[in-house]
Amino acid sequence: MRKWVAWEKITMPIEQGGLGIRSLNLTLKSFRMKATWNILTSSSLWSTFMRNKYTQGKEISTIALTSNASKTWRDCWRCIQEVIDLSTWDYGPGNFSVTHENWRKTGCLAPLCVPTDCDQITLQEAALVNFNLPMFPAEVQRCLMEEYYQNKSTSRTDTRIWMHTTDGKFTIKSYAQLIQGNQGRQGIFRKIWSSWIPTKVSFFSWKLLKGAIPVDAAITKCHIPIVSKCLCCTQPAEETSRHLFIQSDLAKPVWAHFNDLAGLAYASNWRTHVTLQPALKPLQKVLSDAMGTWGEECPNFFLNYGISLSHKGTNLL
């Protein structure tokens, strides 16, 4: 599979054309983020031990990495700033850094508005003087005052909130989805993995949409010189995925049959055939017949499935 579809694409979410398999790097990073989150928020025995050993009540963003730190702490230390940037606070007193914590939900003030090495002042201390501090320009002071009173809660404690879940608690799933993003989602890939479509047909359809079917044209792209000829046509033609599954003598009557049943016009593109039938049960049959077309082209490959097709495709119908 690696020679046909890159591993980076395989590990993408299903909606983005992947198989929904998380990469090992993302999985490890997600667990490290979870451990870091627990150190900052949990009251478990392990979290308490890590805080007492490494943070010792200091502002978390100012802690330096020491040479004798354990590997676990080294991994968590590298995740601290990312956890801070992706979380916010449900604050009452405001006993945390006004410049190095994302209490405004739009990012930390350092280093955007103030230097990173500025004095560590808590939000509570800054609010007591109406943010009238030398590090803040006058217009920034007014904005900070408005945001402070707008977001301040009546709670007597400060609670770190993960901004990417509804309950405010960190989850590995939410972090993985955040890193993978929502761009490039295509409904066609979700459709082929419907529960009523056999898994082997879904995998075949995914390979077809990703160009991972070893037709002659795909093999040629791997720098393997061969003479291409479609075995499903009476007239010689180059064997490409589009030709074999859409335009060949075997495929045309199959598509014509189901297009007539669905009242659709003939389309010359495989993706069009799938997307035109988002809510029709015949989609399962259409995908199965596309798989059967490949079985006619390469019968030995499908020997275990017991697929037997006539060259004219009459058994498909």
Using CA atoms, how far apart are residues 116 and 226, in angstroms rounded to an integer? 62
Decide if 1 is inside a domain. Answer: no
Please identify, among 180, 214, 232, the residue that sits at the C-terminal boundary of a domain. Answer: 180
Residue entry with tokens 């069009």: 272
Same domain assignment for residues 225 and 249: yes
Instruction: State the helix-helix crossing angle for 24-41 and 172-180, rounded to 10 degrees.
Output: 130
Residue 141 near residue 155, CB atoms below 8 Å: no
Please identify, among 160, 180, 200, the residue that sits at the C-terminal boundary of a domain. Answer: 180
Same domain assignment for residues 66 and 133: yes
Same domain assignment for residues 168 and 249: no
Question: What was the pLDDT predicted at 289?
Answer: 56
Same domain assignment for residues 69 and 157: yes
Residue 295 near residue 309, CB atoms below 8 Å: yes
Per-residue pLDDT, averaged over 49-58, amounts to 92
Same domain assignment for residues 101 and 244: no
Interval 232-257: pLDDT, tens: 888 888 888 888 888 888 888 888 88
- Residue 163 is part of which domain span? 7-180
Using CA atoms, how far apart are residues 200 and 18, in angstroms rounded to an integer? 16
Residue entry with tokens 């007539």: 260
Decide if 212 is inside a domain. Answer: yes
* Phi, then psi, of 161 in degrees rounded to 5: -120, 130
DSSP the chain: -TTTS-HHHHTS-GGGTS--PPPHHHHHHHHHHHHHHHHHH--SHHHHHHIIIIITTS-GGGPPPPTT--HHHHHHHTTHHHHHHHEEEE-SS--SBSSSS-TTSS--HHHHTS-TTS---BHHHHHHTTT--TTS-HHHHHHHHHHHHHH--S-SS-EEEETTSTTS---HHHHHHHHH-STT--HHHHHTT-TTS-HHHHHHHHHHHTT-S--HHHHHHTT-------TT-SS-----HHIIIIISTTHHHHHHHHHHHHT----S-HHHHHHT-TT-THHHHHHHHHHHHHHHHSGGGGGGGT----TT-GGG-
Per-residue pLDDT, averaged over 141-159, amounts to 92
Q: Give the residue, 304 or 114, on which the prediction is more confident.
A: 114
Same domain assignment for residues 254 and 107: no
Interval 269-284: pLDDT, tens: 555 555 444 444 455 5
Same domain assignment for residues 65 and 173: yes
- 305 pLDDT tier (thresholds 50, 70, 90): very low
pTM: 0.75
Same domain assignment for residues 224 and 290: yes
Decide if 80 is inside a domain. Answer: yes
Same domain assignment for residues 38 and 148: yes
Same domain assignment for residues 144 and 267: no
Contact residues for 272 (Cβ-Cβ < 8 A; gap 6+): none
Same domain assignment for residues 143 and 199: no
Decide if 260 is inside a domain. Answer: yes
Please identify, among 136, 159, 180, the residue that sits at the C-terminal boundary of a domain. Answer: 180
- 172 pLDDT tier (thresholds 50, 70, 90): very high
> Looking at beta carbons, which pairs linking 147-152 to residues 24 or more positions away fall under 8 Å?
147/104, 148/94, 148/123, 151/91, 151/103, 151/104, 151/105, 152/91, 152/92, 152/94
Decide if 59 is inside a domain. Answer: yes
Decide if 46 is inside a domain. Answer: yes
Residues linked to residue 88 through DSSP beta bridges, in sequence order: 161
Same domain assignment for residues 100 and 200: no
Decide if 270 is inside a domain. Answer: yes
- 308 pLDDT tier (thresholds 50, 70, 90): very low
* Chain centre distance of CA 207: 19
Decide if 200 is inside a domain. Answer: yes
* Phi, then psi, of 97 in degrees rounded to 5: -65, 130
Domain count across the chain? 2
